[in-house]
Amino acid sequence: MQFRLGNYLFCPSWLGFIILMICIPLFIKLGLWQYNKAELRKEIQSSYNASLDHDALTLPNNINHLDAWKYKKVKIKGHYETKYQILLDNQVEENVAGFHVITPLKLDGSNDYVLINRGWVAGGANHTDIPAISTPNEPLEIIGLVWVPSKKIFTLESDAEKNHWNTVWQHMDMDRYQKNVPIHILPLVIKLDVKSDAGGFVRNWQLPASKIATNIGYAYQWFGFTIASILIFLFTSIKKANNTKT
């Protein structure tokens, strides 16, 4: 394959052409993936910022459109029941490993429960040691941020381990939790507000905003790889023609 362009020859190799045709769609797809993640995080941040400007909403007993409640500030009343409390492992605060405390709250006037993420507690010197968790006994008003745990969970745990009740969990798997407890749990978690004194611990909740710039940077990086691949292909395929006189 060879074409003359004035004093230059465009003579790409088939191997280079095939590699280019593979790389360009791949790099563009990865760039768009990162860009779309950044846009999603912007929407989440906007929803969170809007909730800060309004009073906390009362969470209804029947939630028909769960996605509409994501990152909304809500309030509920009830009391903690620690029998099915769990700890989320591998949570780090200021380079100290610990746990997030997830406690069911029984709603007043209802048989429904809502999981409350009460924040972070440090682990012991031996990470297998379970920290002591103090919990208020009196009825409380909970104000916090609605979090809907992702269903896309990667775990090395076997099915037998998933079906066996443990206090320490690697991930917040809502389907697994609902199957393992005999109480009716609403399909969401409320992250306790940082200003609340309703039995909370350290609550430096991480919002997606801190990662938006990272996603945009990765997107530009992948798009840059696309342009670089094209330029490298052209550079290696264009050669100066040898003009010979007869």
What pLDDT tens digit does each residue of the chain (246 aa) get? 666 766 778 888 888 889 899 999 999 999 999 999 888 888 777 776 766 666 788 887 777 788 778 888 899 999 999 999 999 998 989 888 899 999 999 999 889 999 999 999 998 777 677 888 999 999 999 999 898 887 776 666 666 666 667 899 988 999 899 999 999 999 999 999 888 889 999 998 876 566 788 889 999 999 999 999 999 988 888 887 776 544
**Total-model pTM:** 0.69
Torsion of CA 20, 26, 28, 34, to 10 degrees: -150
- How many CA atoms does the CB half-sphere of 139 hold within 13 Å? 6
